[in-house]
Structure 1
């Protein structure tokens, strides 16, 4: 299979997108990029601070712009923030790329994120909020994915290996 850059990883928080992106990038000899980090660099503050100080709508606009820019010019592995696929224009842009949905179940997501999480969308009952987000977003992740990889009970290396086999060694 010919690889189209960037190869994009999507999924909920706790799926391992950033970690798996780094492993794949190292294996393929390309750069890894995370759009949440792009937004933080642009704004000079954390995602949590952007949510609290400026609101989710402002963050989502910054995220939409960061994803569009990365899809246009990044030639490597790209990890999107968990909510990036909620934007219709982002979903349309993903149509021209290999998109890997890293699927994670509730139990593993909670373990990975932690119950004391400082993530803005998890304020309150962390387990309940993660369940709600998984329920709301799973169908959207699947709709944009060209490959779905289950991550429950697996190491990031195992997940990256499966993706590498599915997409082939090099473009």
Structure 2
């Protein structure tokens, strides 16, 4: 039995940089009394280097291949809350795997996302000449993919991690009840914004 009480596997948290995936994911795991895992942390531990170093030394394609393998293994083995990196949903295989899970999409507006990330050099895709334009392009390109995999969507702008987690849990519970007890079977999503 999974973190939601009725599904196998983890509750997965997705969203762009600065949406609070790790922070909110930890709160969700604590409230549910389950383990928390973070894809980026798992990749860094497994590779023995930072994501920035992987990007710099091997390139984005190599990083995405490592990310896809790491996520596939964790989705099969982890039964708690699992936060993915912002670009994980770019993989068609990963999106297909997520269809079997409860997925919470943490949506963040551009201004709030930029403020939260601080346009950090630790985030390889935000480094460059015009990081604000890069962030906007990233949001525009990824939004449909986040929504494609989402079971629930929660807006994070100007909200605390506790409030966001509470809203996500309400959405998951509503979804669970409306689908007859298995939130991962119905392709439609419940949006909570």
TM-score by length of 1: 0.95
Give me the whole-angstrom Cα distance separating, in 1, the residues matched to 2:38 and 2:113: 19
1:37 aligns with 2:41: yes
Whether 2:8 is the aligned partner of 1:8: answer no
- Structure 1 match to 2:168: 163
Are the counterparts in 2 of residues 117 and 126 from structure 1 also a CA contact under 8 Å?
no
Larger relative contact order (CA 8 Å, sep ≥ 6): 1
Matched with 1:75 is: 79
C-alpha distance in 2, partners of 1:116/1:25?
A: 27
Listed as ranges, the matches of 1:44-63 within 5 Å are 44-63=48-67
Alpha-carbon shift at residue 118 of structure 1 (Å): 2.7
Which residue is equivalent to 1:64?
A: 68
C-alpha distance in 2 between matches for 1:166 and 1:57: 34
Aligned-residue CA RMSD (Å): 1.8
1:26 matched to 2:30? The reply is yes
The verdict on how the C-alpha distance between 1:17 and 1:116 changes in structure 2, with shifts beyond 3 A counting, is closer
Does residue 136 (structure 1) correspond to residue 165 (structure 2)? The answer is no
CA distance in 1, matches of 2:5, 2:152: 14
Q: CA deviation at 1:117?
A: 3.4
Partner residue in 1 for 2:189:
none
Equivalenced residues, count? 171
> Match for residue 118 of structure 1?
122
Structure 2 residues not aligned, in runs of 5+: 174-180, 182-193
Structure 2 Cα separation of the partners of residues 123 and 32 of structure 1: 28
Q: Return the alpha-carbon distance in structure 2 between the equivalents of residues 159 and 20 of structure 1.
A: 7
- Secondary structure (helix, strand or coil) at the match of 1:117 reads coil
